[in-house]
Structure 1
């Protein structure tokens, strides 16, 4: 054997003895740590225990997987997928179906009709075409805040129809069909019921009235139409003052749409109670006190709002002529174009140009009373011989004639004699008489009884503090169809 082969053999024998020593040491270590049952020869008891443990393990391996599968099959699936057949998609946009694309706009304060059409994306040319339809201009140009107007605009964006309310009971729908406009009027059923609202002012009249169930229009009727001649609501109203109102509520499709028609009202302030009752006289509805005397005064002192008294009645040096002469009226300085109102119900005696007065209007109020309004920039929508009501705009402030600046020259005459408009005793309005007075009392007695009944219910204990909350209750009058 060669020398290299002898070296490999010695190396192999050395590795075999090393493995033997390692196995012997491991055996001794295990023998030292394992229980005696594993280090000694097994007895019959050892074999019985081992068989028992093996049997239990086999049973567990058989039962547990089946039990687990049973539990999994009983629980619902977290999600499932169900295939449903779907209809085929339409190839083109919807068109030709009325009512499938209505856009409803509510009129906001300060909005004009052109603004509404612009918001809806309808050209002005289409708006003017709609306004040319008979009756459309009268309604659409007088839409009030809160009113609704609807545009039927299909996908192509061209106006197909327009819908608006002509009055509380009728809705108008205008369909644009080529060069023609087809009108359809839909009648909307309304009901009216008479209610009584009563309240006591705590913080403000407006807040208390709203809490009592009055709408802003009803509040304006009470303050600006019924009691404006007797009560200064900006200064005289105080906490603790009370009010009661009998009014007609108009309902349509479950919505209260109008409460402006007040039949009767009372207002207690400063230890005095004022009353107002609605009554038609000669086809015109006005408000009267409990004795049948009109609440509206024959004349208003100041026929121009928000103006400054610039020259009083009496002798003065004329600002243009420079001579002392009688100033037969009063002057109110205001901006050019400020509206001028008729001081009372009258007939237009003269409307034109007259020497130093420039553009002037003279009104004849009957019973020898006349008023004059001079230096107007232009006239209102009036003509000589026309009847006008108190408050009608008859012209606008200007500086025509002998005037140094824009102002209103106002004169008050009694049987041709000039009187100071600021101090003259105004003639009392004509009260109801005879058959009219009898009809008025028959009409107002039930309303007054309802007010007293409501106030007795709310303020039963006058010795205690009146309730802060206000109450509203329906009167005995049942709801009725407004068309009847």
Structure 2
């Protein structure tokens, strides 16, 4: 008989029994009851569910259902044929370079080639090697904002090649090979398309025309050169008024790169049709009406933009400085110092210099007895005596030289030496085209007008029933 257990031993054995009982109680709460050999409804439901899932899996995945069928085996063993397709050759200028280390930079205002090299961490010695090429020096030392230059810089950080556009049709690539610089010129052909763009003014002429693809330069031509004498674009134009223009567009590799001057234009304002046609006459291009009359008037009323009249034309007025009554034989336009002053018409420069109380003065001779005077200038333009200048040329800037109490332009208009009020005088009509020039003009403008009418007949065919939508039509 074993020796009786000590009190501490019995206590330890009882603690182990209690711990085992506690574990069995916890497990009984989380584990299902052991299978006792009898199938319940729950067991049958689970078995049916697993059998159904197995059948679906075998049907979806053929590999689970056993050996591959004869049809599948035949499909896998069928011979395959590779067909080579001939694709059109990609232009050289659009081919991807052999390396992916090209970095494209756009020249910002005031940025030089040296600044671009510094931005890329390239040594100036490399730049000077490239500029030893005469063509490269001419092109790269006169960079314009917006120009794009591509640099081929591999992982070692050394420049391998530089690429730039010499003009619209040529791209130059300079490669550094050892101590040599090799030049390669890539042809970039362009195509010119004559385009008729027609649309409504809408909420904004500029916005509508730009949306149709008309350049900002062409829009300014339309408003500031062709129709500025006949249409007030701030007051006269309504949203339903429409315009049509004929322009030449230059395309390169599917990209529009330039829009030329407007060749012809029509503008319908409140039912009245205005038209203008570009024609080169006597060595310069101008815009004319359909009958050959120049759209540009001989003189503009105000030779200074955005100015107010501070003193009008008068036979008797007390001079603000001299204090005595004397005739004011011109019109004063108050404006800030430095405001540009334009020639009122085509002319020959007759005088440039200081003229008594007028201060710095320019006098223009427009021919046929017409002259204009511009006084109190702060400084002159670049014109010289005897030089021929065009209407709108900046001849000086507003100031207060001579007898003047504030910055303004004193403007005089004379006919055969007699002063006339420039705001009231009947301006001479421009000289129309005649003879052979008129016949050539009519032949040229007839074709352009036919293009516009053809497009407008399509676009505005239903204008009587609903407002026509702005569209653009192209003729290649």
Which stretches in structure 2 are left out of the alignment for 5+ residues?
6-62, 68-96
Match of 1:31 in 2: none
Q: Report the counterpart of residue 268 of structure 1 in structure 2.
A: 268
Q: Which residue of 2 aligns with 1:198?
A: 198
Partner of 1:410: 411
Structure 1's 173 and 340: CA in aligned 2 closer, same or farther, altered over 3 A? farther
The 3 A distance-change label for structure 1 pair 436 and 172 is farther
Aligned to 2:378: 377
Residue 216 of structure 2: aligned partner: 216
Map of 1:252-331 to 2, 5 A cutoff?
252-314=252-314, 315-331=316-332
When residues 183 and 382 of structure 1 are mapped into structure 2, their CA distance, relative to the original with a 3 A threshold, is farther
Q: Which has the higher contact order (CA 8 A, sep 6+)?
A: 1
Q: Quick check: 1:443 aligned with 2:449?
A: no
* 1:332 paired to 2:329: no
In the alignment, what sits opposite 1:149?
A: 148
Give the match for residue 249 of structure 1.
249
SS of match in other structure, 1:259: strand
Cα distance in structure 2, aligned partners of 1:343 and 1:401: 22
The SS at the match of 2:234 is: coil
**1:472: Cα distance to partner?**
1.8
The residue that corresponds to 1:363 in the other structure is 364
8 Å CA contact 1:118, 1:124 repeated in 2: no
Give the deviation of 1:220 after TM superposition. Answer: 1.9
Which residue in the other structure is 2:453 paired with? Answer: 452
CA distance in 2 between counterparts of 1:402 and 1:157 reads 66
Deviation at 1:452, TM superposition (A): 1.1
Distance in 1 (CA, whole Å) between partners of 2:360 and 2:124 is: 37
Conserved? CA contact 1:193–1:249, under 8 Å: yes
Name the CA distance, whole Å, in 1 between partners of 2:443 and 2:425. 36
Normalised TM-score (structure 1)? 0.68
Deviation (angstroms), 1:390: 1.1
Alignment correspondent of 2:233: 233
- Structure 2: distance between partners of 1:99 and 1:348: 60
Q: CA deviation at 1:117?
A: 6.2
Partners of 1:336 and 1:181 lie apart in 2 by 53
> TM-score, normalization: structure 2?
0.69
Comparing 241-250 with 199-208, greater Cα deviation is found at 199-208
Q: What is the CA RMSD across the aligned residues, in angstroms?
A: 4.0
For the residues of structure 2 that align with 1:357 and 1:10, how far apart are their CA atoms?
A: 142
CA 1:153–1:169 in structure 2 vs 1: closer, same or farther (change >3 Å)? closer
| TM-aligned CA distance change 1:393 to 1:313, over 3 Å | same
Residue 318 to residue 240, structure 1, CA distance change in 2 (3 Å): same
Please tell me whether residue 346 in structure 1 is matched to residue 343 in structure 2. Answer: no
What is the CA–CA distance in structure 2 between the aligned matches of 1:176 and 1:360, rounded to whole Å? 58
Distance 2:136 2:382 in 1: 21
Change (3 A) 1:330 1:106: farther
Other structure's SS at 2:458 match = helix
User: How big is the shift at 1:367?
Assistant: 1.2
List per-residue Cα deviations over 1:162-185 (Å, max 9, x = no partner): 73555x3455778999xx999987
Who wins on radius of gyration, i.e. which is larger? 1
Aligned counterpart, 1:18: none
Distance in 2 between the 1:389 and 1:374 partners?
19
Partners in 1 of 2:364 and 2:413 — Cα distance? 10
State the Cα distance separating 1:418 from its structure 2 match. Answer: 0.9
1:443 CA displacement = 0.3
- Asked if the contact 2:159/2:176 (under 8 Å) is kept, the reply is no
Structure 1 residue ranges without an equivalent (≥5): 1-7, 13-69, 75-96, 479-484
